[in-house]
Amino acid sequence: MAAILIQNALIVTLDDAQPILPNGQILIEGERITAVGASVTAPKDAQVLDVNGMVVMPGLINAHHHLYSSFARGFSAPGAPAANFIEILDRLWWKLDLALDPEGVRYSSLVALIEAIRTGCTTIVDHHASPACTDGSLDILEDTFREAGLSGCLCYETSDRNVKGDGVAENARFIRKTRKGDGQVTALFGLHAQMTLSDETLAETAAICQDTGAGVHVHVAEDLADEEDSLAKHGARIIQRLNAFGLTGPNSLFIHGIHLDETEMDLIAETGTMMVHNPESNMNNAVGTQKMLTLLQKGILLGLGTDGMTSHMISSARVAHLLQRATLGDPRVAFVEACEMLLENNAKIAARCFPEIRGQLAVGQLADLAVFDYRPTTPLEPGRFLGHLLYGLNYARVHTTIARGRILMRDSTLLSLDEQEICAKARECARATWGRIQ
C-alpha cells in the first residue's frame, strides 16, 4: 500500500498537543498515521491528496448500530400501528429479523456501510439478528466490513424468543475466530435484553465470556416493561440480574439504560461497564429520555450510537444535546458533554473493543480520517470547534473517507464498493424480505 500525503488541510487533530492545525499535512503509511504537522517529509512515491483547505478530522465511531435495520426503510408492518415498545418489537423488528435470509443479511449490511462511508464513519459496533439464518451470519457481516474497508465489532443477538439459546453457539464461535484475527473485525457476545433471556441462557453466556474474556453487548432498561419483567420474574432489577451472572465489567457494553434507578447506575459505575446512548431511537420509540448527564457524573464511560436509525454520527450528537435541553428545560446543559461522548468516549469504547488505537490524528494512530467539504465562515480554532461540529459539519458533505490507510471514497465517489450494483440488489432483497413477513 503506497503512502498517502494529505496536504493543505484544516486539521482537527483532537489531540491536546495541537488541537487545530491550519494548512497542515498528514502522512499515512500502511494502516497508520506516521506524521502530522505544518510540513512533513513523505516518500517520493506517496499519493498526494490536496484537500484545498477542507476540514480533516478523525473518522467517526458508532458505538451501537443494527445494520440489518436498513431494510426497515419504507416498510410498513402489517396490522394496526404499534402503540408501545413491546408492540414495536413484536410487530416490526422481530418480524423483520426473522424474515432475513443470508442474502438479506449481506445487502442490508452493505447499504448501511455505504451510508457510514458517506458520513465519515469508519468504525462500527454492530448488534445483529437473523433467527432464520443464525449460524454463519457473523461471517457474512465480517465479509461486508472487509469489502467496504471499515472496522467492525460484531455480535449476534442471543434470545430465547424463537429457539432457546439462539445465538449462543454463533457468538462463541465468532469470538474465538476473531481472537486469532487481524483486528479489523472483533467480537462481543450479543444478548437481546434480559426480558427475552432465561437464567440457563445467561449462565451459558457467562461461562463462554469467562472462558474467552469477551464482554456482552446487551440492551438494558430501554423501556419500563423490561424492568417490570425482571422484577416480576426474577425479583431483581436488570443490572442486579446481569451482575449476578458476572456479565457486568469493563469489557461489556450496555445500551440505552433509560429506566435504570440510582442503584443500577452506581453498580454500572462500580463495575466499569460501558454504556451507549441512542437519542434518535429513543425519541422514535417514545421510551423516554436517558439520564445522560447523571450517568456521566457518576463516571460511567458513556458513548453514542444510532441503534439502526442512521449511520450519521454527528447528527446523533446534535440530537443528544438538544434532547437533554428540551427534557430538562435548561439551555445551559449537554452541549460539551454530547460532543465529548462522540469524539472522546466513543474512541475509549473502541479502545476496549479493538487492538488498535483510533480517534485522533496523531502519530501511531490508526489511519481513519474524514475530509469534510467545509470551509468555515467564522474562526475555527481551539475552543470553538464544537460549534462548528454540531452546526456546520453536521450539514457538510463528506468529500473523502479513509479507513485503515485505504481511500474508501474520494470526491463523494465510493471506491471500495459498487454503490449502484449494491443498491439495486438491496432493493430486490428488501422486497423479498418484506414478502416473507406475515
d(CA 137, CA 390): 36
d(CA 260, CA 282): 14
Find all residues with CB under 8 Å of 257, minimum gap 6, and list them: 220, 221, 222, 264, 265, 268, 275, 290, 291, 295
Q: Mark whether 225 and 308 lie in a shared domain.
A: yes
438 residues of the chain, pLDDT tens digit each: 789 999 999 999 999 887 999 999 999 999 999 999 999 999 999 999 999 999 999 999 999 999 999 999 999 888 899 999 999 999 999 999 999 999 999 999 999 999 999 999 999 999 999 999 999 999 999 999 999 999 999 999 999 999 999 999 999 999 999 999 999 999 999 999 999 999 999 999 999 999 999 999 999 999 999 999 999 999 999 999 999 999 999 999 999 999 999 999 999 999 999 999 999 999 999 999 999 999 999 999 999 999 999 999 999 999 999 999 999 999 999 999 999 999 999 999 999 999 999 999 999 999 999 999 999 999 999 899 999 999 999 999 999 999 999 999 999 999 999 999 999 999 999 999 999 998
Question: Which of 110, 74, 78 minimizes the C-alpha distance to 95?
Answer: 78
Q: Mark whether 221 and 345 lie in a shared domain.
A: yes
Beta-strand pair 20-29/32-37: antiparallel
d(CA 158, CA 19): 42
User: What CATH number does residue 294 fall under?
Assistant: 3.20.20.140
pTM here? Answer: 0.98
d(CA 394, CA 397): 9
Distances (CA, A) of 356 to 123, 165, 423: 11, 32, 31
pLDDT at residue number 17: 81
Q: Which of 353, 368, 386 is the last residue of a domain?
A: 353
Q: How far apart are the first and last CA of the chain?
A: 49
| Sheet containing strand 253-256, strands side by side | 189-193, 216-220, 253-256, 274-277, 302-304
Q: Mark whether 230 and 363 lie in a shared domain.
A: no
Residue 317 lies inside a defined structural domain of this protein? yes
pLDDT at residue number 77: 86
pLDDT at residue number 360: 98
At which residue does the C-alpha cell 457474512 appear? Answer: 140
Residue 423 lies inside a defined structural domain of this protein? no
Q: Which of 353, 385, 401 is the last residue of a domain?
A: 353
Q: Mark whether 13 and 133 lie in a shared domain.
A: no
Q: Mark whether 36 and 158 lie in a shared domain.
A: no
pLDDT at residue number 166: 97
* Per-residue cell: 63: 458505538
Q: Mark whether 138 and 241 lie in a shared domain.
A: yes
Q: Mark whether 247 and 348 lie in a shared domain.
A: yes
Q: Mark whether 287 and 361 lie in a shared domain.
A: no
Q: Which of 312, 336, 353 is the last residue of a domain?
A: 353
Phi, psi angle pair for 23, to nearest 5° = 50, 45
d(CA 277, CA 242): 19
pLDDT at residue number 78: 87
> Is residue 97 within 8 Å of 68, Cβ to Cβ?
yes
Question: Which of 16, 62, 137 minimizes the C-alpha distance to 317?
Answer: 62
pLDDT at residue number 236: 98
Work out how many domains the chain is built from and give that number.
Answer: 2
d(CA 239, CA 208): 19
Find all residues with CB under 8 Å of 325, minimum gap 6, and list them: 331, 333, 334
Q: Mark whether 242 and 98 lie in a shared domain.
A: yes
* Per-residue cell: 204: 451459558
Q: Mark whether 141 and 213 lie in a shared domain.
A: yes
∠ CA(72), CA(128), CA(268), 5° rounding?
115
DSSP structure string for 67-111: GGGGGGTT---SSSPP-SHHHHIIIIIHHHHHH--HHHHHHHHHH
Domain range holding 286? 67-353
d(CA 376, CA 383): 14
Q: Mark whether 330 and 371 lie in a shared domain.
A: no
Q: Mark whether 139 and 271 lie in a shared domain.
A: yes
What residues pair up with 9 in beta bridges, in sequence order? 24
